[in-house]
Amino acid sequence: MSNTDARRWQLRLDTFGRALRQLTIACDQECYSYLELAGLIKTFEFSFELSWKVLKDLLFYEGYDVKAPRPVIRKSFEMDYIDESDCETLLNALNKRNLLSHAYLLDVAQEAETLIKECYHPALQRLHQNLEVRRTP
């Protein structure tokens, strides 16, 4: 592991943090037009993508070469980057990606809104906080 590996996961963490701030702004809204709801879902999608990729980069820095999202999330639980509940939530979010691709259906989009606001966003916030603590000075 090199110093560039440490820098890579920390840069990805910064990017994840910026995406998460946008997701927080979107989640704070109470009522959405259809386009705003689609924006919330898309913002969640790229925030989630960055979340598992920063975990992948951190695992690589720590000496683990895990590539796919599901094994990355599971290994992150083993390494105590996330707790069991958030592990299950993130795995659920991974499984729901197909649901989110049908966000053009209003009832599906509304279900996605509930999942994002009540489950996924809080788990991503906790993940970000945990990773910030691990950041090297």
**Helix axes of 121-134 and 84-95: crossing angle, nearest 10 degrees:** 130
Q: How confident is the model at residue 101 (pLDDT cuts 50, 70, 90)?
A: confident
How far apart CA 114 and CA 128 sit, in angstroms, is 21
Longest pairwise C-alpha distance within the chain: 48
Assess contact for 32 and 113: CB atoms under 8 A: yes
What residue numbers bound the domain in which 94 lies? 3-134
Higher pLDDT, 3 or 25: 25
Question: Average of pLDDT values for 6-22?
Answer: 96
**What is the domain count for the chain?**
1
DSSP state letter for 118: I
Spatial contact of 10 and 134, defined as CB atoms under 8 Å apart: no
pTM of model > 0.85: yes
CATH number at residue 32: 1.20.120.330
